[in-house]
Amino acid sequence: MRAVLTRMGPGGVRLVAALLAVVGVFAVPLVLQSTFTIKILTFAGINVIIVIGLALLFGYAGQISLGHAGFFGLGAYTSAILTTTVGLPWILGLVAGTAVAAAGGVIIAVPSLRLKGHYLAMATLGFGEIMRILFVQLRDLTGGPDGFSGIPPVSVGSLTLETSGADFTLVWVVAIVLLLLAANLGGMRPGRAMRALHGSEIGTSACGVDISRMKIVVFTISAGVAGLAGVLYAHVLGFISPTNFSLNVSIILIAMVVLGGPGSLAGAVAAAVVLSLLPFLDAFVPGVPREVSEFIQSWQHDLYGLTIILVMLFLPRGLAGGMRQLVRWIGRRPSVEGDTA
Amino acid sequence: MGFDEQLAQFVFAGLKSGAIYALMALGFTIVYAATGAINFAQGEFFMLGGMLAVWSLDALGVPLLLAGLLAIILTSLIAVIFEELAIRPRRDADPLALIIITIGGSMLISSLARHAFGPNELPLPPFTEGGSLHVLGALVEQQAVWLWLLTALAVAGLTILYSRTKFGLAMRASAVDREAAKLMGIDTRIVVMVTFCLAGALGAIAGVAVTPLTQTAYSVGPSIAVKGFSAAILGGLGSPLASVLGGLILGLAESLSVAALSSEFKDATAILLLLAVLFLRPEGLFRRSRREKV
């Protein structure tokens, strides 16, 4: 197996993985009987989309956002209002939701990324709180604390996604496309510049990269991606309310990115899937009793908080770094006696 | 009620929340000075103060005064434990790593509090019974006077500690340059530990003092943390006095925005002020513009 993988090279592995993913995206809804399970997997896919954007920000620009639930909500409410209240087609809602969230990103990023350090985190925290307050208080537009209901399902022209299986496919196709884009970004000039940024800001700057502009671009992309996820969320669920976009949601997203590890898209995606599915463990792992899932659900916020702390303390490179260490450790094992290193 | 009385009422309301924000801002400022990081869990110390006071009163049955004191001591203890277990191992890491840890800590502490004390809002009786006082035509609760008194005591105590004691000197020295302080024989480990203890106490004092006015719940931490942080930024994350002024200004601004506009966007006022200061004057309202010294 290993030999085959080595011969294929990373490009080949990636291609096979992408092919498998595409097959999975269409096959899963056919194989799985339970609508509930498909829905859970769909929401996991939406989390994956947001986390891809956050991982770009964290891994490549060395910044965290405490307000991504705000961008997520901005996308969701923008599209909900435009399609439901105004009556525009979904595709316009999608474009507008993404664009408005990205614009929000620019507004926050331009002033705060000129400053070093923790200011972006705090500015995004403020942004997220303002968004939440607006979602609650602008009752005429958003429905207030009771939420916004009756959002139509995704439709393009005469094609309407009626089943949860179709939603699943749409969400995961978007997730995979974004993942491929983000992965390729890592290898191209902007991606290299971003990684260099995380390594050394001064060094990168000396190489002629405009750091502030780079960071603003990354942040805008990640805000736009969160907005896009919000649009999908609104139309898949049909109902949104301010609690879906609270600070807790932003922190859970951070837990996913941190668990994944900085600079690793694969790790972030894996962490997003694991943490999204964990509260519904019994639906995915045979033999796990319902009580276990109920226990996890009741303690999930404690778990997320603890995860963040433990990963930062003991696994600062996240799941991805942990896996690499494990592989190295297993590989090294046999020669331990003869090798003092 | 005439215009003057109404204005006085709003000013007192502003000074009431301002005192809370001042205590929170102090907590942020001293931890920032000692570690270079924003302690996002500061709001949870506020929450724990109120919750533990309610718990001591109801479950342990101790008198109110003792319950408040116990809550402050226990919260300081929890703050120290948090620092020792979660911050200390990575104390020399990038501030971003520490901030992320405190974000996790905030969520962990508030969720544990929900499991320990339940999801409901909990009340605490006022320190002294009796009606409100009439000051300048406005009504001021007796509890508000207690709040101001405790705030003043805490600020005075902290100022004396910082400016008059050897330990305060060590704290100020390690705030300026941790490495240099270490070289001068200052145990920065102890400094950070004591700082967290004080930050816990400051948060808890605010929580204990304000719970009789507002009630409390497991989830109040983050929103009060945002306010306290805003106040700290207004004050420039510098001297204790600047933090207190930042808190009072924020409280007054909020209260006057309620008077001028409406109460719906009261919480947004603080954040808009925070963003405005972050973007326009990141060095705070009182400091002269920051110059990098060579």
The full DSSP string for B159-212 is HHHHHHSHHHHHHHHHHH-HHHHHHTT--HHHHHHHHHHHHHHHHHHHHHHHHH
Tokens of A227: 């907005």
Q: How far apart are CA B29 and CA B33, in angstroms?
A: 6
Nearest to B36 by CA among A178, A116, A40, A97: A116
Nearest to A40 by CA among A187, A209, A236, A176: A236
Label residues A198-236 b or e (16+ Cβ within 10 Å = b).
Answer: beeeeebeeeebebeebbbbbbbbbbbbbbbbbbbbbbb
pLDDT of residue B162: 86
Residue A171 within any structural domain of the chain: yes
Q: What ipTM does this complex have?
A: 0.90
**Annotated domain spans of chain B:** 8-280
CA dihedral A10, A264, A277, A291 (to 10 degrees): 110
| Secondary structure tally for chain B: helices H, strands E | 11, 2
**Mutation for A interface: B103, B262, B272, most A CBs within 10 A:** B103
Using the structure block, give the residue that is written with the tokens 């609508």: A35
Average pLDDT over chain A, rounded to an integer:
85
> What is the distance, to the nearest Å, from the Cα of residue A198 to the centroid of all Cα atoms in its chain?
20
Q: Is the pLDDT of residue A292 over 60?
A: yes
Q: How far apart are CA A205 and CA A195, in angstroms?
A: 12
Range of the domain at A39: 25-248
Number of domains observed in the structure of chain A: 1
Q: How far apart are CA A226 and CA A232, in angstroms?
A: 10
Among A30-34, A192-196, A253-257, B288-292, the range with the most confident prediction by mean pLDDT is A253-257
Mean pLDDT of all residues in B12-34 = 93
Q: What is the bridge-based pairing of β-strands A159-160 and A155-156?
A: antiparallel
Domain B8-280 fold: ABC transporter involved in vitamin B12 uptake, BtuC (1.10.3470)
Residue A306 within any structural domain of the chain: no
Mean pLDDT of all residues in A101-114 = 88
**Mutation for A interface: B275, B280, B292, most A CBs within 10 A:** B275
Size of interface A-B (CB pairs under 8 A): 113
pLDDT of residue B115: 95
Per-residue CA distances from A37 to A32, A276, B88 (Å): 7, 12, 42
pLDDT band at residue A126 under the 50/70/90 scheme? confident
Contact A133 B268 (CB under 8 A): yes
Average pLDDT over chain B, rounded to an integer:
89
**Chain B contacts of A118, Cβ < 8 Å?**
37-38, 95-96, 99
Of the listed ranges A13-17, A118-122, B79-83, B120-124, the one predicted with least confidence: A13-17
Burial class, B166, CB count within 10 angstroms (exposed 0-12 / middle 13-18 / buried 19+): exposed
Contact B278 A312 (CB under 8 A): no
Contact B115 A248 (CB under 8 A): no
> What is the distance, to the nearest Å, from the Cα of residue A321 to the centroid of all Cα atoms in its chain?
19
pLDDT of residue A305: 95
Q: Is the pLDDT of residue A211 over 90?
A: no
pLDDT of residue A190: 59
Single-letter amino acid, residue B74: L
pLDDT in tens, B278-294: 888 877 777 665 444 43
Of the listed ranges A219-228, B213-222, B280-289, the one predicted with least confidence: B280-289
Q: Is the pLDDT of residue B212 over 90?
A: yes
